[in-house]
Copies of this chain bind each other. A is one copy, B any other.
Amino acid sequence: MAAFSISEQPAKVAPNTQTNPKNWHIRDDPITWKNWHKHVNWIHATLLLSTPLIALYGLLMFEIQRKTAIWAVFYYYITGLGITAGHHRLWAHRAYKVSRPFEIFLILACSGAVEGSIRWWCKGHRAHHRWTDTDADPYNADKGLIYSHIGWMLLKQNPNRVGKADISDLNADPLIMFQHKNYWIFALFMGFLFPTMVAGFGWGDWRGGFFFAAVLRLVFVHHATFCVNSLAHYLGDTPFDDRRSPRDHFITALLSLGEGYHNFHHEFPMDYRNAVKFYQYDPTKWLIRFLSYFGVAHHLKKFPENEINKSMIIMKQKKLDREKLKLDWGKPLDKLPIYTFEQYVEYAKENNWICIEGVIHDVSEFIEEHPGGRSILTASIGKDMTASFNGGVYDHSNAARNLMASLRVGIVAGGGEVECRKTK
């Protein structure tokens, strides 16, 4: 394996997803007017479609109180970070470790985002990383922006299709399993009751607490984090690897609490950062780093900078190589006929040949164009002008060197006029 070799295959096959005809699943049938209701995941659909409607109703009917607005925004960050710092970076990727009390706080926070149990979320997410852009990827970006944003939840998934992921670590964690088993209690309480109660007991705004701090806030958290599966696989650059769909974009980062540097993230998933540059927007990283100063977060994993730079350089090389392919670099040397130096001298006059660096150039068309003058080229025909070309007379530019390559017609055996080989 050469240091700079790059695999060009798209690598989109998920090897563990042979469909067994015995395991028939509704998803194997196309969606029709007759069977569509069997395709719908009714629990997800009810949650995801009713919340925006309820929030809209609240927005149209009632004024938002100042205190409730502040609380809603604050709780948006708490629960949003519960997903990005908790679900995603801590549990799905094990990018850092936290103290037990803070883990409990995170479990409560992420439950308020109502995106499924930690165990369920991480299982899907690990499969997403392992089988990115294949049929085994639960939010396969190849199926379109809407599918990867929300469609994959609204429709039933064939469990045999989704890639298997190792979640033995989560299964072994009693806290994670407790949340998983009692998930609807956690979700109901942290997602709806708690935000309503804070506003209700706090400043008497029960209604605002429900419509805005609970439901409207939830809609925002949902779509912000869903963007990581949709927008982050469509919008932006691929500075680290372009074999798959994840992309880096500032806008996605803004929307998703810093998860928008997704090309980096798929390349270095166990890095606690999604953005490496200090000027990039990654508040989740900032939070984790801040907590680490107090020992609350620790064992922050960082991929070595050397390796990160290597990925970037390989991508730059790949882009440059593509640009190179668009240009004419002259006939490759191994495709040229070989002449002895004596043959070269013999044929040179009638063909306007000049030998430079062991290569014969036909200057017939170029003589009139030569910036160094016509006569100087005419006088060079049939000679070895290597030294003259390289500074003996004039040290030519790269441009001249490239131009020369396009005039190649042959090779001189032995590389040119060699003193010791001269016959007289």
Interface residues of A (CB under 8 A from B): 1-7, 11, 13, 15, 130, 166, 240-241, 243, 266-270, 303-304, 306-311, 313-317, 320, 323-324, 326-330, 332-333, 356-359, 371, 373, 390-395, 397-399, 401-406
Rounded to whole angstroms, the CA-CA distance of A270 and B369 in the bound complex is 9
- Chain B: minimal CB distance from A133 (Å): 11
Known interface pairs A11-B391, A15-B391, A311-B399; 14 further A-B residue pairs with C-beta atoms within 8 A, sorted by A's residue number: A1-B405, A4-B329, A6-B398, A7-B401, A11-B395, A240-B398, A240-B399, A241-B397, A267-B398, A306-B327, A309-B326, A310-B398, A311-B398, A313-B327
Rounded to whole angstroms, the CA-CA distance of A324 and B399 in the bound complex is 24
Interface pair B320/A267, CB less than 8 Å apart? no
- Please tell me which one of the listed residues B306, B320, B373, B406 contacts residue A313 in the complex, with CB atoms under 8 A apart: B320
Interface pair A166/B324, CB less than 8 Å apart? no
Rounded to whole angstroms, the CA-CA distance of A326 and B130 in the bound complex is 31
Knowing A320-B313, A391-B11, the reply to whether A401 touches B306 (Cβ < 8 A) is no
Interface pair A327/B309, CB less than 8 Å apart? yes
Which residue of the partner chain B has the closest CB to A11?
A: B395
Rounded to whole angstroms, the CA-CA distance of A341 and B391 in the bound complex is 52
Interface pair B402/A314, CB less than 8 Å apart? yes
- Chain B: minimal CB distance from A394 (Å): 6
- Chain B: minimal CB distance from A308 (Å): 8
- Please tell me which one of the listed residues B268, B317, B403 contacts residue A307 in the complex, with CB atoms under 8 A apart: B403
Interface pair B329/A3, CB less than 8 Å apart? yes
Residues of B close to A371: CB separation below 8 A: 269-270
Jot down 20 A-B pairs with beta carbons below 8 A, ordered by A.
Answer: A1-B357, A3-B329, A3-B330, A3-B405, A4-B324, A4-B329, A240-B399, A243-B397, A243-B398, A269-B371, A303-B399, A306-B328, A307-B399, A307-B402, A309-B323, A309-B326, A313-B324, A314-B398, A314-B402, A316-B320
Dominant SS at the A interface?
Answer: loop
Rounded to whole angstroms, the CA-CA distance of A317 and B317 in the bound complex is 8
Rounded to whole angstroms, the CA-CA distance of A293 and B306 in the bound complex is 55
- Please tell me which one of the listed residues B266, B328, B391, B404 contacts residue A13 in the complex, with CB atoms under 8 A apart: B391
Which 8 residue pairs spanning A and B have beta carbons closest together? Answer: A3-B329, A11-B395, A310-B402, A1-B357, A267-B399, A270-B371, A241-B398, A311-B399
Rounded to whole angstroms, the CA-CA distance of A267 and B166 in the bound complex is 58
Residues of B close to A243: CB separation below 8 A: 397-398
Which residue of the partner chain B has the closest CB to A301?
A: B369
Which residue of the partner chain B has the closest CB to A332?
A: B3
- Chain B: minimal CB distance from A115 (Å): 23
Residues of B close to A323: CB separation below 8 A: 309, 313
Interface pair B266/A397, CB less than 8 Å apart? yes
Rounded to whole angstroms, the CA-CA distance of A270 and B373 in the bound complex is 12
Residues of B close to A405: CB separation below 8 A: 1, 3
Rounded to whole angstroms, the CA-CA distance of A3 and B332 in the bound complex is 8
Which residue of the partner chain B has the closest CB to A268?
A: B399
Rounded to whole angstroms, the CA-CA distance of A395 and B7 in the bound complex is 10
Which residue of the partner chain B has the closest CB to A390?
A: B7
Rounded to whole angstroms, the CA-CA distance of A400 and B240 in the bound complex is 12
Residues of B close to A307: CB separation below 8 A: 399, 402-403, 406
Rounded to whole angstroms, the CA-CA distance of A3 and B306 in the bound complex is 30
